[in-house]
């Protein structure tokens, strides 16, 4: 009996040890993606094409994590089973870089033959960097623009903004005043709707202010310019130009699609064109596009959501891995809008022909696209001070002393960041 | 005989190994992790002593989430206990098709929490939801439920009643054990239904109420699934466990989150001990 039990135990331990050993060839790389369904099929098609072009030099495999992406990813990293490549959104690059989870690819990118940092829109590539080092290759950019209901504007006799001329936030508020409270299609309409989106950065930048300086460490949130920008947000609420936060009962885009608001600040990827085409003819309306209004310095600051593909710091053969990463990234540029590299805006006509009318505005947005100046503790700082300390109190009570909120948030941020 | 003992040990060995690896070792590790700044994705973990605990007690968010959870617990626990008990008493009567009613009331308890949350997302929808539709029939303009910070807690309290079926099972089995002779004696003495429930059923059910109270405290403080799925306007749906989860997996502060878990353990332990001490004053064990 004892012999049998001992044999079984030894066998179990052996199986466990064998199972734990990695038998992966050194030229095989895995990329983790949040893509699922049709998107995953398209993704795999791209990966297959890249593998075919590599002709056996390297092989890229897909790891789809459609739900709880970051949780599963972080668990894999903790378990030393990190995929060689994975997608990260911009606000996490600094965190992962600081923690040593992703590789510094500055040398490779700077000396790249097919892709360098200069090929990217400035604001986009900046979102993949920390302390002047690059940690990822952005493969998509999705900056904000203003969608507006041209049919409603015309019916209410309000002058619409143009596709590329920089209108100011004062003009935006003036137009909002002309629209809000008017009756359109038997309903009282609002200028736009804000419930935490667009993010607070959009309003902070609207006055020419910022959260952190370019070094990602100096807090400049309590500048007069920031306060002027946040006043734009507060004005929209206080003058009832937009619905109150506690009365918003469905998704922001639905207000626009139901023609209850005249304007919508959203990413260039938002597919209103398709949705409008599917509506009953009586409900259809003409879409207009305009840039995010400019700050007092004449600068439009469209917030840009960007995703990058990063390389795990645990990768052994970084030269080969970067070659694969670059090839994959170049292939991604033909997949979705918008490719984050300069001179490719016309490709949007092939990738998403329904966006043809928006092309000029998209180009304008990409030229000015930017993200925040991120720090390694950004997610925490953003949650604690920008959302809970500033945005949420304004949403819940627009009469709040927002200057005091900004000062307190800045003070909290300084102690958190150690500025 | 000795060999037989050994063979028995071998048979329980897989469970013992599993318990050690998946329960005891993580618990011991968690004590240490709570004193570090482990971030899950990083490799440079440092010992920070009581810094995590100090940071927690200075964090406004911690008190906010604890307050939300406490308010929920203080209302939902008696509410669920009362509802479960009342329904159980009704279902213990010999009424026609009682089995079907029992199945109907117990069924929600076996449905996945995520599925329940998604159903409630629709039920509580301010525009197309069932509750506001019913309210509109009686001329009431329903609230914004989860979209209005002031109505987030009431929304979760309504949802908590969904779980009342879980308690019904234990109450029903206990109700079956109440000797009929006691009711018959009471009837002879002129007791009505209320008297019988108040002076016979309720006292004899106190051990089960006690059990459900303990379970209720634990589950109320550990509330997560529906709060994670549904959230709530103005951060009012940020229960303690959601806060803990965010710290661990959004901010990658695993050490901090582990410290939060230990604090939660102590909070639950505190209330459990209090209820246990009070037991001698109201639980009939004779």
Q: Do B150 and A96 touch (CB under 8 A)?
A: no
> Which segments within A116-270 are labelled E, that is strand?
129-130, 133-134, 136-149, 183-184, 187-188, 263-267
pLDDT given for residue B94 in this prediction = 82
- A74 in contact with chain B, both atoms CB, cutoff 8 A: yes
Q: Which of A246, A247, A383 to mutate to test the interface with B (most CBs of B within 10 A)?
A: A246
- A383 in contact with chain B, both atoms CB, cutoff 8 A: yes
- A397 in contact with chain B, both atoms CB, cutoff 8 A: no
Exposure of A1 in the CB half-sphere (CA atoms within 13 A) = 10
pLDDT digits (tens, 9 = 90+) for A245-282: 988 988 999 999 999 999 999 999 999 999 999 999 99
For helices B98-106 and B60-91, what crossing angle results, to 10°? 170
pLDDT given for residue A249 in this prediction = 85
pLDDT digits (tens, 9 = 90+) for A215-237: 989 999 999 999 999 999 999 99
Whole-angstrom CA distances from B115 to A34, A35, A69, B226, B229 are 22, 23, 20, 9, 10
* Alpha-carbon gap: A81 to the closest alpha carbon of chain B (Å): 11
Count of CB atoms within 10 A of residue A159's CB? 11
Sequence-distant (6+) residues with CB within 8 A of B138 are: none
- What is the average pLDDT score of chain B? 91
Exposure of A349 in the CB half-sphere (CA atoms within 13 A) = 9
Q: Which of B11, B252, B253 to mutate to test the interface with A (most CBs of A within 10 A)?
A: B252
Buried b (16+ CB within 10 A) or exposed e, A343-367: ebbeebeeebeebeebbebbbbbbb
- A67 in contact with chain B, both atoms CB, cutoff 8 A: no
pLDDT digits (tens, 9 = 90+) for A313-322: 999 999 999 9
Query: For residue A388, which residues of chain B lie inside 8 Å, CB to CB?
Result: 60-61, 235
| pLDDT(A19) > 60 | no
| Residue of chain A with shortest Cα separation from B234 | A392
Domains with residue ranges and CATH for chain B: 49-282 (1.10.3720.10)
Q: Do B44 and A380 touch (CB under 8 A)?
A: no
ipTM for the assembly: 0.81
Query: Is residue B230 within a helix (H) or strand (E), and if so which, with residue range?
Result: helix B225-230
Report which of residues B8 and A179 the model is more confident about.
A179
Count of CB atoms within 10 A of residue B24's CB? 11
pLDDT digits (tens, 9 = 90+) for B153-191: 999 999 998 888 888 889 999 998 899 999 999 999 999
- A388 in contact with chain B, both atoms CB, cutoff 8 A: yes
Facing residue for A78 by CB, picked from B40, B127, B235 = B40
Sequence-distant (6+) residues with CB within 8 A of A226 are: A204, A207, A209, A210, A211, A220, A406
Residue A60 main-chain phi, psi, to 5 deg:
-105, 130
Give the number of A-B residue pairs with CB atoms closer than 8 Å.
68
Sequence-distant (6+) residues with CB within 8 A of A362 are: A145, A268, A289, A337, A338, A345, A348, A355
Residue A154, class by beta-carbon neighbours within 10 Å (0-12 exposed, 13-18 middle, 19+ buried)? middle
Exposure of B157 in the CB half-sphere (CA atoms within 13 A) = 19
pLDDT given for residue B153 in this prediction = 95
Domains with residue ranges and CATH for chain A: 27-141+305-368 (3.40.190.10), 143-303+375-417 (3.40.190.10)
Facing residue for B234 by CB, picked from A1, A95, A396 = A396
pLDDT band at B47 (very low <50, low <70, confident <90, very high): very high
My answer on whether omega of the bond before A198 falls inside 30° of 0, hence cis, is: yes
């Amino acid at each position: 009996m004892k012999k049998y039990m001992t044999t079984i135990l030894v066998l179990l331990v052996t199986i466990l040890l064998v199972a734990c050993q990695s038998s992966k060839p050194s030229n095989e790389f895995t990329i983790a993606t949040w893509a699922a369904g049709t998107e995953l099929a398209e993704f795999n098609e791209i990966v297959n094409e890249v593998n075919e072009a590599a002709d056996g030099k390297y092989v890229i495999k897909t790891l789809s994590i459609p739900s709880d992406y970051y949780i599963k990813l972080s668990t894999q990293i903790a378990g030393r089973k990190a995929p060689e490549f994975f997608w990260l959104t911009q606000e996490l690059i600094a965190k992962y870089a600081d923690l040593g989870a992703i590789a510094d690819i500055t040398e490779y990118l700077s000396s790249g033959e097919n892709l360098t940092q200069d090929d990217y829109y400035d604001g986009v590539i900046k979102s993949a960097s920390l302390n002047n080092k690059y940690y990822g290759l952005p493969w998509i950019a999705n900056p904000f623009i203003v969608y507006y209901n041209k049919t409603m504007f015309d019916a209410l006799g309000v002058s619409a903004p143009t596709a590329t001329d920089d209108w100011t936030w004062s003009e935006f508020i003036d137009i909002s005043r002309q629209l809000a409270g008017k009756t359109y299609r038997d309903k009282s309409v609002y200028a736009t709707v804000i419930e935490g989106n667009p993010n607070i950065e959009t309003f902070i930048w609207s006055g020419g202010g910022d959260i952190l300086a370019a070094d990602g460490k100096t807090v400049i949130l309590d500048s007069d310019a920031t306060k002027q920008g946040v006043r734009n947000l507060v004005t929209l609420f206080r003058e009832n130009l937009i619905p109150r936060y506690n009365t918003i009962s469905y998704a922001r885009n639905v207000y626009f699609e139901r023609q209850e608001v005249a304007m919508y600040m959203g990413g260039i990827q938002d597919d209103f064109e398709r949705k409008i085409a599917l509506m009953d003819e009586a409900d259809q309306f003409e879409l207009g596009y305009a840039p995010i209004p400019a700050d007092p310095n004449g600068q439009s600051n469209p917030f840009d959501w960007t995703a990058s593909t990063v390389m795990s710091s645990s990768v052994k053969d970084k030269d080969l891995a970067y070659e694969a990463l670059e090839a994959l990234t170049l292939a991604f540029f033909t997949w979705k809008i918008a490719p984050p590299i300069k001179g490719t805006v016309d490709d949007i006509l092939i990738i998403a022909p329904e966006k043809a009318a928006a092309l000029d505005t998209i180009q304008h947005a990409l030229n000015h696209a930017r993200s925040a100046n991120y720090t390694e503790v950004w997610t925490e700082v953003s949650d604690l001070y920008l959302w809970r300390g500033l945005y949420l109190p304004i949403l819940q009570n627009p009469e709040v002393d927002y200057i005091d909120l900004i000062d307190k948030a800045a003070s909290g941020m300084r102690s958190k960041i150690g500025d | 005989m000795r060999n037989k003992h050994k063979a028995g040990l071998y048979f329980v060995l897989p469970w013992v190994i599993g318990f050690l690896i998946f329960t005891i070792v993580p618990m011991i590790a968690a004590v240490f992790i709570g004193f570090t700044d482990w971030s899950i994705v990083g490799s440079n973990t440092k010992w920070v002593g009581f810094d995590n605990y100090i940071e927690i007690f200075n964090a406004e968010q911690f008190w906010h989430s604890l307050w939300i959870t406490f308010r929920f617990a203080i209302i939902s626990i008696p509410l669920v206990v009362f509802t479960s008990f009342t329904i159980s008493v009704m279902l213990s009567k010999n009424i026609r098709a009682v089995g079907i009613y029992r199945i109907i009331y117990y069924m929600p308890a076996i449905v996945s929490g995520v599925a329940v949350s998604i159903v409630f997302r629709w039920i509580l929808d301010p525009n197309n939801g069932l509750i506001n539709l019913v309210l509109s029939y009686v001329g009431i303009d329903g609230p914004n439920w989860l979209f209005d910070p002031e109505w987030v807690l009431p929304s979760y309290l309504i949802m908590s009643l969904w779980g009342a079926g879980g308690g019904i099972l234990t109450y029903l089995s206990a109700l079956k054990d109440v000797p009929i002779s006691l009711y018959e004696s009471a009837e002879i003495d002129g007791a009505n239904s209320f008297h019988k429930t108040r002076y016979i059923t309720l006292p004899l059910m106190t051990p089960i109420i006690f059990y459900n109270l303990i379970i209720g405290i634990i589950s109320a403080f550990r509330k997560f699934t529906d709060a994670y799925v549904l959230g709530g306007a103005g951060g009012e749906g940020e229960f303690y466990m959601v806060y803990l989860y965010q710290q661990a997996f959004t901010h990658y502060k695993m050490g901090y989150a582990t410290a939060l878990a230990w604090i939660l353990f102590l909070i639950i332990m505190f209330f459990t001990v209090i209820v246990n001490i009070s037991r001698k004053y109201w639980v009939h064990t004779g």
